[in-house]
Amino acid sequence: MLIRRPPDIRSSEITEERLYWNRREFIGAVAGAALVPLTTRDLRLTTRDDDKLTPYKDVTSYNNFYEFGTGKDEPAVYARDFRTRPWKVEVVGEVMKPATYEFDDLVKGFTLQERVYRHRCVEAWSMVIPWLGFPLADLVKRLQPTSRARYIEFTTLDDPGQMPGQQSEMLPWPYVEGLRLDEAMNPLALMVTGLYGKPLPNQNGAPLRLVVPWKYGFKGGKSIVRIRLTSAMPATTWNIVAPNEYGFYANVNPDVDHPRWSQARERRVGELLKRKTLPFNGYADQVAGLYTGMDLRTNF
């Protein structure tokens, strides 16, 4: 099946649909207006085409990091004393020289860049976050994969003593995520060590996490201790526990719903009404080519 690439028309040029949505949003806004006086938050009634940064406070207090509890506010509380130094990252599998690196040695030599990415959770909410990091592609090149390497796997720390969420068998720990190697080599895939110009807060996956902006957030493994290159597709955590709900690819796709909820729209944190979800989270131009010829309904 051909991938339906979005036409190269700016959304601002598509007038009629926008008018339609604006009308809807206006009706919703009038009805929703009654709710606004009930909150002191800077809530916006209508959605806009812009991608205003999500406030630091929200980025660091509304987290899915089940190792520290399933509540959105729990990671910020229970990760407070999490030790991120010393930190070792093991590199194994299809690489020329398997080794264990001190975190500081591993990231040394990479120039940190700020990348403002949309972040879309599989639960249909989203944020806009200024990450600090370096391209995963640069790291992969330095690790020198063998010719057999086709996939890359990321493993999160397994330490129930520090991670209270791991004391329950809710998910099979440790958390494992992975990418196809060509996805990993895409310049958008980012190894992240900070946000908002500061070192990565513990609740956001310190000291090292992955961010893949065209995929649902759960693809971005946090507090990574092991990187494995492999010839076979790695078994990834959410795909193991609910294969019909969470695929290996997990590309943001408004046309393929989660079995229990729609993925067509999302709520940008800080806004009252939902906005449309964009194919590949708005990064189709840069990444759709990775999936040419693939049926994205079966490879969800």
Question: Which tokens sit at 225?
Answer: 């201790």
In the shown chain, the binding pattern of residues 194 to 223 toward another protein, with x for contact by CB under 8 A and - for none, equals ------------------------------
Range in contact with another protein (rule: CB under 8 A) among 24-32, 207-215, 220-228, 282-290: 24-32
- Residue 239 phi/psi, 5-degree rounding, is -70, -30
Q: How far is the CB of 116 from another protein (least distance, A)?
A: 18
Cis amide bond preceding 172, omega within 30:
no
- Which region among 57-65, 183-191, 196-204, 222-230 touches another protein (by CB under 8 A)? 57-65
List beta partners, residue 135.
190
Residue in 58, 90, 158, 159 binding another protein, rule: CB under 8 A = 58
Report the C-alpha gap between 224 and 157 in whole angstroms: 6
Single residue of 43, 128, 137, 290 touching another protein by CB under 8 A: 43
Judged by CB under 8 A, does residue 123 bind another protein? yes
User: CA of 103: how far to CAs of 87, 147, 157, 160, in Å?
Assistant: 5, 26, 13, 21
Kindly tell me which residue out of 12, 15, 39, 292 binds another protein, with binding defined by CB under 8 A.
39
d(CA 23, CA 51): 21
Shortest CA distance to 136 belongs to which of 215, 19, 36, 25?
A: 215
Q: Which range binds another protein by CB under 8 A, 130-138, 143-151, 182-190, 258-266? A: 258-266
Q: Which two tokens stand for residue 97?
A: 């020289």
Nearest approach in angstroms of CB 70 to another protein is 6
The three-class DSSP label of residue 275 is: strand
* Number of residues in the chain: 300
32 lies in the binding site for another protein (CB under 8 A): yes
Q: How near is the Cβ of 64 to another protein at its closest, in Å?
A: 9
Question: By C-beta, is 164 or 270 nearer to another protein?
Answer: 270
Structure tokens at 139: 């790291």
Report the residue number, 23 or 141, with the smaller CB distance to another protein: 23
**Which runs of E-coded beta strand occur in the chain?**
88-93, 99-102, 113-120, 125-135, 151-156, 176-180, 190-195, 198-199, 209-211, 224-230, 265-268, 275-276
241 binds another protein (CB under 8 A): yes
Q: Which two tokens stand for residue 76?
A: 């910020």
Q: Which residues contact 85 (CB under 8 A, 6 or more apart)?
A: 103, 207
By CB under 8 A, residue 164 contacts another protein: no
| Binding of another protein by 267 (CB under 8 A) | yes
Kindly list the residues in this chain that would bind another protein in the complex (CB under 8 A): 21, 24-25, 27-28, 31-32, 35, 38-41, 43, 54, 57-58, 61-62, 70, 72-73, 123, 125, 170-171, 241-242, 257, 259-262, 265, 267, 269-270, 272-274
